[in-house]
Amino acid sequence: MKNQIINLDQNFKPIDGDEIQFESFTFSAGEPHIKIKSDIVGPVIITHRLNSFNDLGLLCIAVDALKRMHAELEELIIPYFPSARQDRVMIKGEPLSVKVYADIINQLGFKTVRILDAHSEVTPALLNNCTAVTNHLFIQSVVGKIGTDLKLISPDGGALKKIYKVSEFLGGIEVVECSKSRDVKTGKLAGFKVYTDDLNNQDCLIVDDICDGGGTFIGLAEVLKKKNAGKLYLAVTHGIFSKGFDNLDSCFEHIFTTNSFKDLTHENLTQIKLNDRLLS
């Protein structure tokens, strides 16, 4: 039987199919409400941008409504997994936030959960039957626009394994390894090491999963410039850009992201819209 799709974040339609119609609104006290308007005739796929506990609330009540209509919950597609960076307890007294989200999502009872460019191996391990889609097709789209005559830059050890896989997928673009240190107590960036003597004016593409405030990439760009990098490009799957673009713009020739977190327009940014292909 053909799947039916419910795009819970109505501005975000990453895959095609027969859409389930619904109405949603928030009561004045802030409580979400939903009404499913279509008949349920096939297995259901939900796509949702799950950036906060409010988004999670809407998902939970939507699933309740669907279960009351005897829906078969085939798949949940949430490209950006919330709190994925809080995947370990660094200091006594901190929560393991990613597990809080994962436990709730596991309870919903989907056959599979699909996420994009997982921050680490922790999130897929916590989710039942998780498909973790890589960033390979996204980065392939990026190099399709800027060419392959460049070096791929991995900002830190966490991104290293992934970037070698991207490089292999793209036919062996050279990787430059870097490491990043943070103050464990404050979380503030302490510095970068770039493991090459000279970049010889070669263009560089920094590849990472998330750009939040951008401090990582601004700091790394400074170090790469000191090593004689040519043009600098940035590709991050999940574009939060919580501190805007002013400081990033002066560091990068161009920035690339997807719309997994939010819709963005900015003159120095290309947002590649997620679709069936990028999520497979």
Q: State the minimum distance, in angstroms, from the CB of residue 99 to ligand RP5.
A: 17
14 makes contact with ligand RP5 (CB under 6 A): no
Name the one range near ligand RP5 by CB under 6 A: 2-10, 124-132, 203-211, 258-266: 203-211
85 makes contact with ligand RP5 (CB under 6 A): yes
By CB under 6 A, name the one of 176, 210, 235, 278 that touches ligand RP5.
Answer: 210
Name the one range near ligand RP5 by CB under 6 A: 8-16, 45-53, 168-176, 204-212: 204-212
By CB under 6 A, name the one of 214, 220, 255, 258 that touches ligand RP5.
Answer: 214
Q: State the minimum distance, in angstroms, from the CB of residue 19 to ligand RP5.
A: 33
Nearer to ligand RP5, 8 or 248 (CB): 248
Nearer to ligand RP5, 14 or 239 (CB): 239
Distances 104 to 58, 78, 110 between C-alpha atoms, Å = 13, 14, 11
Q: State the minimum distance, in angstroms, from the CB of residue 225 to ligand RP5.
A: 17
Nearer to ligand RP5, 82 or 155 (CB): 155
155 makes contact with ligand RP5 (CB under 6 A): yes
Binding-site size for ligand RP5 (CB under 6 A) equals 13
Half-sphere CA count of 90, side-chain side, radius 13 A: 9
Residue 108, both tokens: 């919903």
Residue 44, both tokens: 């259901």
Distance between start and end Cα atoms, the chain? 20
Where do we find the tokens 């939900």? 46
Cβ 82 vs Cβ 212: under 8 Å: no
By CB under 6 A, name the one of 42, 43, 124, 215 that touches ligand RP5.
Answer: 215
Least Cα distance to 277 among 74, 15, 98, 32 occurs for: 15
The conformation of residue 274, written as its DSSP 8-state character, comes to P
Residue nearest to ligand RP5 (CB): 216
By CB under 6 A, name the one of 72, 74, 203, 212 that touches ligand RP5.
Answer: 212
Three-class DSSP labels, 71-114:
CCEEEEECCCCCCCCCCCCCCCCCCCHHHHHHHHHHHHCCCEEE
> What is the spatial order of strands in the sheet that 232-239 belongs to?
189-194, 175-182, 151-154, 204-211, 232-239, 254-258, 269-272
Q: State the minimum distance, in angstroms, from the CB of residue 85 to ligand RP5.
A: 5
Residue 24, both tokens: 């949603």
Nearer to ligand RP5, 84 or 150 (CB): 84
Q: Label the pairing between strands 32-36 and 22-26.
A: antiparallel
211 makes contact with ligand RP5 (CB under 6 A): yes
- Report the distance separating Cα 247 and Cα 237, nearest Å: 19
Contact residues for ligand RP5 (CB under 6 A)? 85, 119, 155-156, 208-216
